[in-house]
Chain A
Amino acid sequence: MNDPYRILGITPDATDDEVKKAYRKLAKKNHPDRYQNSPLAEDASEKMKEINSAYDTIMNMRRSGNNYSSGGTYSDSYSSSASHGRYSDIRILINNARFDEAEQRLSSIPPSERTAEWYYLMAVISYHKGWLEETYNYASAACRLAPDDVEYRSFFSRIRSQRNGDYTSFGGNSSSGCGCCEMFTCMLCSDCLCNACCRS
């Protein structure tokens, strides 16, 4: 097994707080929710498991030495609600990564019988192909037809926020910065400068 410290990107002499901080940062970055319906969902959840077990290993190692308590790890269970009648076999095809077949089956359904779920499943298939415009259009159609469905809505709101430029794990990149944070960093920086002057 890999070195748990390397997985978290820290050195063995990191303090418990640093370990926790590194873990939280990584957990946020690789959280399965960000990869919902993505072709990389499985890899992300695997990585999450790796991070979780690395964190547990480190914390257990340390606890046997001294009595620090660890925060609970993030759970990585993500299951899609699959209690739908007509499209359940198509969902199975999608879950087994047989996208071409699923797309054919969906296309053969005449336009008059297409429900919100039809649009949602088309969106998921397009997302796997990397055809993001179609994904966006299908997902928005699904939400229009069934505004109250949690599954469709959470998927759509995620891709919509990506579209508006909010996509890094640390929430940067959107046009308006956080005033508070900036002020705080300014204060920190000036503090550092003061130290530098006094010491030299």
Chain B
Amino acid sequence: MFGYIRPFNDELRLKDHQLYKSVYCGLCRSMRKNYGILSTLALNYDCTVLAMLYMSVKNERCSVRRGSCSINPLKKCLLCSCEGEALEFAGAVSVIMSYYKLRDTINDSGFPKRLSAFFGRAALYRNYKKAVRKYPYIDSLTSEMMKRQLEAEKENSGVDRSADPTAKLISELCRSFSDDEKNKRTLSVFGYHVGRWIYLMDAADDLEKDIRHKSFNPFKGRYDGDIKHTMIYCNEVLNMTAAQIVLAYELLELNSFKAILDNIIYSGLSYQQKKYTETRFIAKDKNKDYYGMLDEIE
């Protein structure tokens, strides 16, 4: 369920793109340092954005330096490091969430997947314990979320109810970024809809697979499994959620990474949405520019 929140690179300035990459690499480096080299397997784009948001809200000073990649020492890259806890926090979030995700896979997948998830979990176990010691509340929030998610799936709930656990989790995580009561409120609404959006994107992405395997999906009940119509519906639901993200985002008090975050919120979300819903299922006309890359020529 990771990696949907990303910038739309084509509209990002080169320097912002490099800064974004440096945060990604910096997060990887910090995870290697804090939770061991195997924890970098859990690295993902969503947590990179989480780290940037954290730094931006808390106004943490950060610096970018040249270094070499944590995995491939021959590759040179830019590394972002910050004085505060942003990278450590985001690293802990991705380790803990990946661990739970793997545990979930072991419980309800076929044999080959189960086996690889089992080894993955064993590899992550020590790193997970370490992250939990530092941030016990992330662990308790995530396990609570997983429990509620299971209940919602058992009851075959609708869109709102099944997206609620993930939304609440991200909401609580974002809420912890600020000490100011007003900012907390804005951050928690922002986080709620970001979490909801991630969950719904994942559901839309898995829809085809879930119909084939007859597993749970909140969108499945609609239109008797007609994928094209369901995708139009998914897109509408996602649009509404993105609208709420934008409303809350515009009230946030941010200090840095503004250009990247703007890009993610205003272009990245809708681009990803189109990529996973429209262009995959709805677009059949090859002559139309579904990505909006070409300017319209009259």
Residues of chain A at the chain B interface (Cβ within 8 Å): 29-30, 34-35, 38-40, 43-44, 46-47, 126, 130-134, 136, 159, 162-165, 167-169, 172-173, 175-177, 179, 182
Q: Mark B259-283, 1 if CB is under 8 A from A, else 0.
A: 0000000100010000000000000
Given A164-B236, A168-B266, A173-B266, CB of A40 within 8 Å of CB of B251? yes
Number of A-B contacts (CB under 8 A): 84
Given A40-B251, A179-B298, CB of A172 within 8 Å of CB of B266? yes
Please state if A132 and B160 are interface contacts (CB–CB under 8 Å).
Answer: yes
B295 at the interface (CB under 8 A from A): yes
Q: Mark B68-94, 1 if CB is under 8 A from A, else 0.
A: 000000000000000000000000000
Q: Mark B142-162, 1 if CB is under 8 A from A, else 0.
A: 000000000000000011110
Residue in chain B with minimal CB distance to A132: B240
B185 at the interface (CB under 8 A from A): yes
Please state if B160 and A38 are interface contacts (CB–CB under 8 Å).
Answer: no
Given A130-B167, A179-B296, CB of A43 within 8 Å of CB of B240? no
Q: Which of A30, A40, A136, A165 contacts B270 (CB 8 A)?
A: A165
Q: Which of B158, B160, B186, B196 contacts A40 (CB 8 A)?
A: B186
| A164 to B243 alpha-carbon distance, docked (Å) | 10
CB-defined contacts of B159 to chain A, threshold 8 Å = 133
Please state if B237 and A133 are interface contacts (CB–CB under 8 Å).
Answer: yes
The 4 closest A-B pairs by CB, nearest first: A167-B243, A162-B243, A131-B160, A165-B239
| A46 to B10 alpha-carbon distance, docked (Å) | 35
* 24 CB-based A-B contacts, threshold 8 Å: A35-B247, A38-B244, A40-B189, A43-B182, A130-B164, A130-B167, A130-B193, A131-B161, A132-B160, A132-B196, A133-B158, A159-B240, A162-B244, A163-B237, A165-B235, A165-B239, A165-B242, A167-B242, A167-B247, A168-B266, A169-B250, A173-B266, A176-B296, A182-B295
